[in-house]
Amino acid sequence: MMEKADPSPAAIKAWARLMRVSRQLVERAEDALKDGGVPPLAWYDVLHELAEAGEGGLRPFQLIERTLFAQYNISRLLARLEADGLVEKLRVADDGRGQTVRITGKGRETRRRMWAVYGRSIAELVGAKLSNDDLETLSALLGRLRHPAMPE
Amino acid sequence: MMEKADPSPAAIKAWARLMRVSRQLVERAEDALKDGGVPPLAWYDVLHELAEAGEGGLRPFQLIERTLFAQYNISRLLARLEADGLVEKLRVADDGRGQTVRITGKGRETRRRMWAVYGRSIAELVGAKLSNDDLETLSALLGRLRHPAMPE
DNA sequence: TCTATATAGATGCAATTGCATCTACTGTCA
DNA sequence: TGACAGTAGATGCAATTGCATCTATATAGA
C-alpha cells in the first residue's frame, strides 16, 4: 500500500512562514552586526557558548553539539577565532586527539560589543513585536518542532 | 539620555528557539532532498514561484522580491537552472535591460519530483508535530514578525 | 536633446561552505 | 599485544556566497 504523506495546508503555511521569517530575521541581524562593525552571527554563537562554559572551556565536538554547526565549519571557525585572538586552544591531558577551546579576554570583550548590537536587534525584531505571553507561546510551539535529540 | 534596548528573557528565548529550530528544519529538509537525489531547497523556491506565475513568467527582480534571495544569487541560480533546462529566459519587449524567466516542462517535472520529497518532509517535521490549531497559531505569531514590507 | 541618476542584471574576485578524505589517537577484543 | 573499528579534528578541492563593481538601458530634469 502506498504511503501518502502530503502536508496539510496549515502545515505548509506554517512551514513557509517559518522559512521566510527566520531567513529575514537572520539577514536583518547580520546587517545590524555589519553596520555595527562587529563579526557575524556565527562568531557570536561560538563565543556565547564558550563564555557560558567558563574557564574550563569546551571541546570542539561539544561546540558542534551545542551550535549545530558542521564539524568542518567549527574547525575553521575556531581557526579564525584563534587567529583573531578571541579564543585559545589548549592541549587536553587525557585525550591526545583533542583540545580544549577557551575564550580569551579579548573574546569576552568582543562578545560584549556584539551583544550590544545583537541584543538590540532581538529586542526590535522580536521583543517589540509580540507580548510576553505571545513570546512564551511561540517558544513553546517551536519547542515542539525540535528534533528529539536537540539540546536546550 | 541613554537608550537601553536589552531584550527580555522571553524575547531571547523565542529568538534562540527560532534560530535553532529553523536551522535544524532546513538542514533536515535539505538532507531529505539530497537523499532523494533532487536539487536543493533554493531551486524549489524559484521553481515554485515560476510555476505559480504560469506562462507569463517572472522578471528576475520579481523573484528577488518573492524569495528574498540576493540579486547576485538569483542571477547565478537562474543561470544554473537554465543550464539544466529547467527555466528559459526570454527578452522582454518593453524593457531592454530585462528579461522574463519562464519555467519549462522539465522544470515543472523537476518541481513535482522535488515536492514528493519536500512535501513529505514538511508533513513529518511540522504537520506531524502540531495540531491544526497550533499550526494556525504558529503561523499567526510568525506573521507578526514579518518585516512590514514582506510579501505574502 | 543632453546630462545625471536610477534600475536590471551580470560578473571578477575573495571568503565561506560542503564534501570527501586524511591523520592521529583511543578503546575493544581476540 | 596486535589488529581493527571508532572518535577527534584538520584539510584539499569544488561549489556557492558575498562584495563590489560593471554594462546596458531607462527615466527625469535642465
Q: A4: pLDDT confidence band, cut at 50, 70 and 90?
A: low
Task: Give bridge partners of residue B101 from the DSSP assignment.
Answer: B58, B89
Percent of chain A whose predicted confidence (pLDDT) is above 90: 87
Separation between Cα atoms, residue A25 and residue B11, nearest integer Å: 13
Q: What is the pLDDT of residues A56-66, one digit of tens each?
A: 999 999 999 99
Neighbours of A3 (CB within 10 A): 5
Q: Which residues of B touch A65 (CB under 8 A)?
A: none
The structure's pTM equals: 0.92
pLDDT digits (tens, 9 = 90+) for A20-72: 999 999 999 999 999 999 999 999 999 999 999 999 999 999 999 999 999 99
- pLDDT at residue B4, rounded to an integer: 57
Residues 6+ apart with CB under 8 A from A96: none
Distance CA A39, CA A81 (A): 10
Mean pLDDT, to the nearest integer, of A3-22?
Answer: 91
What pLDDT is attached to residue A136? 98
| pLDDT score for A147 | 77
What pLDDT score does A149 carry?
Answer: 60
Distant-in-sequence contacts of A39-45, Cβ < 8 A, 24+ apart: A39/A110, A39/A114, A41/A118, A42/A69, A42/A77, A43/A77, A43/A81, A43/A86, A43/A110, A43/A114, A44/A111, A44/A114, A44/A115, A44/A118, A45/A69
> What's the pLDDT at B149?
61
Element (H, E) at A95: none
Banded pLDDT at B58 (limits 50, 70, 90): very high
Grid coordinates representing B47 are 521553481
> How far apart are the two ends of chain B, measured CA to CA in Å?
39
Q: State the average pLDDT for chain A.
A: 93
More confident residue, A92 or A18: A18
Residues B121-134: pLDDT tens digits?
A: 999 999 999 999 99
HSE on the CB side for B58, CA within 13 Å?
A: 21
pLDDT band with cut points at 50, 70 and 90 for residue B93: confident
Is the confidence at residue A137, as pLDDT, over 90? yes
Q: Which residues, numbered 9 to 28 in chain A, qualify as contacts with chain B under a Cβ-Cβ cut-off of 8 Å?
A: 10-28
Residue B17 confidence class, pLDDT cut points 50, 70, 90: very high
CA of B91 to C1' of C3 (A): 28
| pLDDT band with cut points at 50, 70 and 90 for residue B147 | confident
Higher pLDDT, A24 or A152: A24
Report the pLDDT value the prediction gives residue A17, as an integer from 0 to 100: 96
Mean residue pLDDT across chain B = 93
Query: Percent of chain B scored above 90 by pLDDT?
Result: 87
Whether pLDDT at A93 is above 80 = no
Lookup result for grid cell 557558548: A49
In chain A, residues with a C-beta closer than 8 Å to the C-beta of B145 are: 21, 25, 125-126, 129-130
Instruction: Give residue B16's Cα distance to chain centre.
Output: 21
Residues 40-69 of chain A within 7 A of strand D, judged by CB, are 59-61
Q: Say yes or no for a CB contact (<8 Å) between B130 and A141.
A: yes
CA distance B18 to chain A (A): 7
- pLDDT score of B151 more than 60: no
Rounded-to-integer distance, Cα A8 and Cα A47, Å: 40
Contact B135, A16 (CB under 8 A): no
